[in-house]
Amino acid sequence: MRGAFFAVTKPTPLSTIFGQCHVPEQIFFAILDTLHGAIQIPGVISSKQGSNGIYVPAIYSKSQSEWVDNFYKQNGYLEYDALTRLGIQDAKNFVKRHFARENLTLLDSVTVGPPIIDQVDANIEETMASNSFIDIYPLLPSVFSPKDIEKILKDSQKRCKADFQIFATTVIVSNAFLDLLTKSLEHKAEAKAIEAVESGEWFKYISVKKIKSSKYLDFTKNEKKDDRRKKASIGKAGGGSQGRETKTKSTKKKYNPVKIQYDDSDNEGMKINERSELTLLTAEDIRKELDKGGNFSDIHNFVDELTAYLQPKLNKQAVNIAERLAQTTKSNNISEVEEKLNMLISNIRIFEKGIKCIPNKEVQNALSKYLMRTLGVDFVIDMIKFAAQQNVIQCPANLTAEIRQKILLELPNDIREHLTNLHKAAAKGSVEEFLNDVEPTMVACCLVSRKLEKKREKALMLGHKQALLEQLSSTNDPALALHLVTSILFTATTQSALHMSGRHVSPILDFLQAHLEDEVMEKLVKYHDLVLTLLSSDDEEIKAEHQEILRQELHVLKELSNHSKKHVTMDK
């Protein structure tokens, strides 16, 4: 029996050894106990329950230990699956017992010694020093799972208090690199912020947020009113002995738990909506920028996690930039709008003086209505847009009469009242009423209405005449040329300007007849008749003939405008 046990080199069931020795069972186990007690067999019995026990020879255990020691010394780690294939059951506990004095890190699939940990720490230090990132996964043995590596990195982060983040389980990125990456993407955040402000998306978001906040406040007020009303009605009911107790109990019964739950959820939903932030820079925008950078996409899931980390931060920057731009734009807009509105109203005042030079009331009314339908409505539209922007009301670029009325209803009472009066005056065609309502309307919108000084009026008149002359010199359209010449001659005659359309040319020529030389008037009337024939005739030959005559006479008209003062006669 002793020889049989010495011959065994691997774990073997006792039943197998018993079968080879041809010794009665009772005698076999009695001798085995004696040999085992005298330490005369080179191994251990794993179980002494009869023939179910397993004999593990010492040489086998020694070879296992030697293999484990050699592998650990060479590689600095031990794989549990490899130990299991070696015949070691419960590999993790075996490692704990075998390396009781070693400072090991026990992971899910491997046990790691200090050499591997030192290698990881060295890579982390190098990454921190170079302000970059590194994927640890390919630097470690392939038996390491991503979860094992993540555990190592987290332990290193706690132990070394290193300034880095972990992405895609195995990638370490220094915070300095993340800061550089964020700065490189700030231009995208700024571009998105500018786009949001210029497109009106930012103001739309503020408007919606303001409406939701208002609804939430109204909801809260109504809820409190309902609670007070319920308490008041409950207080009036009941009576008799122990009335207070009865009322308290009835109050509890009257509450509907389902309704309370619904109200609470609705309340919370409103708060969430109120806190929600505008997304100016999406994850897709950042991902596209990162893909341009190069080697991020080589690591699985790295770009996605990096995008998820950067997006909230960059979007917040974009929102802050948009807010600052909106404030700056608002300040700049006030001065720009104020200047534009004062220019418009100055022109309207100048043109009103020109209208008053004409004695014919019917012509005056026609010119006044035209002035209000054009410049007056332009002034009203600019005022409404400005008021809407100041009060964070969504305002489209094209304001029809219906949209103007709708926006007016949303404005505060003081602004709405003045703007409505101004709007009605423009629609009525009354220049006098319009001018009377201009200053209080601008004051209500915190704008300054400047008076038209003589010096400024003279400069505007000169600029108006110069613009007419430049337009006349560049046109070959007979109808437009007649229109421009009539305006220039009116200015030379009355020292006032006139805002008119083509249909007003005839009555203005009638007015000029008393102030221009007869020869000049003959040329103007002749040219006017030719233009009317050209525009009204259906005969192509007649139109072609008149077109040629008008083209030849065009230089005469331009010459009249260049020396307009010479042809004015005040004592006619």
The one-letter amino acid code at 80 reads: Y
Predicted pLDDT of residue 260: 35
Q: Which two tokens stand for residue 159?
A: 């132990």
Nearest CA to 15 among 41, 42, 47, 62? 47
Residue 191 burial class via C-beta count within 10 angstroms: exposed 0-12, middle 13-18, buried 19 and up: middle
pTM metric for this prediction: 0.55
User: What length does the chain have?
Assistant: 572
| Cβ density class 89-116: b for 16+ within 10 Å, e for less | eebeebbeebbeeeebbebeebbbbeeb
Q: How far apart are CA 31 and CA 6, in angstroms?
A: 15
Predicted pLDDT of residue 53: 66
Kindly report each contact of residues 103-108 with a partner whose C-beta sits within 8 Å and lies 24 or more positions away, as own/partner. Answer: 105/151, 105/152, 105/155, 107/144, 107/147, 107/148, 107/151, 107/152, 108/145, 108/147, 108/148, 108/151
pLDDT in tens, the chain (572 residues): 665 555 565 665 565 665 556 666 566 666 666 665 555 566 556 665 555 666 666 556 777 788 888 999 999 999 999 988 888 888 888 898 888 888 899 999 999 999 999 999 999 999 999 999 999 999 999 999 999 999 999 999 888 777 899 999 999 999 999 999 999 999 999 999 988 888 778 877 876 776 665 544 444 555 555 566 666 555 544 444 444 444 444 444 443 433 333 344 344 333 334 445 688 999 999 998 888 866 777 888 899 999 999 999 999 999 999 888 887 766 667 888 889 999 999 999 999 999 999 999 999 999 999 999 999 999 999 999 989 888 878 788 888 889 999 999 989 998 999 999 999 999 999 999 999 999 999 999 888 888 888 888 899 999 999 999 999 999 889 999 999 999 999 999 999 999 999 899 999 999 998 888 888 899 899 999 988 888 887 788 888 888 888 888 888 888 888 877 777 775 54
- What residue ranges do the domains of the chain occupy? 1-64, 76-178, 187-235+249-322, 358-452, 454-572
Predicted pLDDT of residue 86: 82
CB atoms within 10 A of CB 227: 10
End-to-end alpha-carbon separation of the chain, Å? 155
Q: How far apart are CA 180 and CA 177, in angstroms?
A: 5
CB atoms within 10 A of CB 416: 16
Q: How far apart are CA 190 and CA 185, in angstroms?
A: 9
Q: How far apart are CA 293 and CA 311, in angstroms?
A: 16
Count the helix, strand and coil residues of the chain and give each as a percent rounded to the nearest 5: 75, 5, 20
